[in-house]
Amino acid sequence: MRLFFMQGSLLLVVSAVIAVSTEVPFDQPLFFVGGSVFYGLYASLMLWRQRTIPLVAAQLVWAVLYGTMMSDGALPLLMGLPLITSALLDMQRPGVTAAAGAAVVLVPVYVHGTLAWEWQLVLTSMYAAFAGAVWLYMRERISTNAAAEQVVETEWENRRLRRSIDIQEQEVREEERLRIARDIHDSVGHQLTALLMQAGVLRRSVEGEAQQHAEMIEQTAGEALEQTRDAVRQMRQKEIPAGVHAVIHLLRKLERESQMVIQWKAEDGFLSAAFTNDQHTAIYRFVQEGMTNAMKYGRTREVMLHVQIRGGRQAVLKMENRTSQEMMGPVGSGLTGLQERFDALGGACTWEHHGDRFTMEGVFPLERSEIN
């Protein structure tokens, strides 16, 4: 954008100098039409993805104006400067644009014979060298930009691969945990059940002090069996995904499965912050609870999520969506549990209605060293 305005300013300055210092045929309507086309093409460059065609077209219009309507003075040759440097705006074929810019200025000079052949040769050499320098600069610039884009693309691909590896590792851990839970249930659980039954048989077959010991064995086996069952149930519970990538995975899943339109934005190093496990869980639960409420009470399918690191010291999460009047009732257990989770992190989770808009905001502190 800055280069575009600099080029436009140069074009206007040179045009003003030529208009003031030479005889410009302002009384000819065709001159105004050609001038309007010339400056209109330059003004519309920001709308073109391929700028070679409009730039060359503008240069050809200038050649027509200069060659047929303007004076034979040498001052219009100054227009070669902005015409050649216009190649700086062409990221596709800057060599063509630079060469055309030099040609449309030199050809009228040859046709009119404005300068002696010696000066024509000098002028041609100067313009050719200038156009060549611009082309070499643009070739290096295009090469640098392509390398930078390749680096960015490689970084994104690496991030995608790391996220994929993290998800696969999580799935492996999940499968391993379920396998261990099954093994404990099938081996230890069954052995404890058999021990409990045998202790009951023993208790009924003896008397006195031996019966008391048998009761103690039966009671201990029963407690061990119950604790084992609790451990197996906890191991079979689905683990909450770790990392911010889990939140992104959740958002994509909800968009795919519930047709939600989620507009989310991460700023100030949020994606690269090294959150603790509890902080990751709070972030995940915040998004999960907000999306649940949006799907349950939302008047539209659109949700806005904004996350950032404020001042390098606080993680801030904000979610907003339009809701129905049903949500304005008593606070549910989900929001209450979310508030308790943020309180435990030394932060806060608040929510409020503004008309038909429901806004949730969660904040918790983090150490500066946690930000990469």
As a whole number, mean pLDDT of residues 56-60 equals: 81
Query: Which CA distances in Å does 247 have to 222, 243, 281?
Result: 41, 7, 10
Helix 333-344, helix 277-297: angle, nearest 10: 160
Task: Please report, rounded to a whole number, the percentage of residues in the chain having pLDDT higher than 70.
Answer: 82
Stretch among 122-131, 155-164, 357-366 having the lowest mean pLDDT: 155-164
- Does residue 58 share a domain with residue 92? yes
- Does residue 321 share a domain with residue 263? yes
CB-based contacts of 66: which residues, under 8 Å, 6+ apart?
76, 79, 104, 105, 108
From CA 171, how far away is CA 167, in angstroms rounded?
6
Note the pLDDT of residue 363: 94
**pLDDT tens digits for range 227-245:** 887 777 766 655 555 556 6
Chosen domain end from 115, 150, 170: 115
Which residue's structure tokens are 């001042």? 311
**pLDDT tens digits for range 18-52:** 766 666 666 677 776 777 887 787 778 777 888 88
Q: Measured between alpha carbons, how far apart are the two ends of the chain, in Å?
A: 31
Q: What is the mean pLDDT of the chain?
A: 78
Q: Would 130 be classed as within a structural domain? A: no
- Does residue 102 share a domain with residue 6? yes
- Does residue 364 share a domain with residue 249? yes
Q: Would 79 be classed as within a structural domain? A: yes
**pLDDT tens digits for range 155-172:** 777 767 776 776 677 677
Note the pLDDT of residue 368: 42
Number of folded domains in the chain? 3
As a whole number, mean pLDDT of residues 335-350 equals: 89
Domain span including residue 26: 2-115
CATH code: domain of residue 314: 3.30.565.10
Q: Would 107 be classed as within a structural domain? A: yes
Q: Would 49 be classed as within a structural domain? A: yes
Q: Would 74 be classed as within a structural domain? A: yes
Nearest CA among 244, 245, 246, 247 for reference residue 262: 247
- Does residue 256 share a domain with residue 366? yes
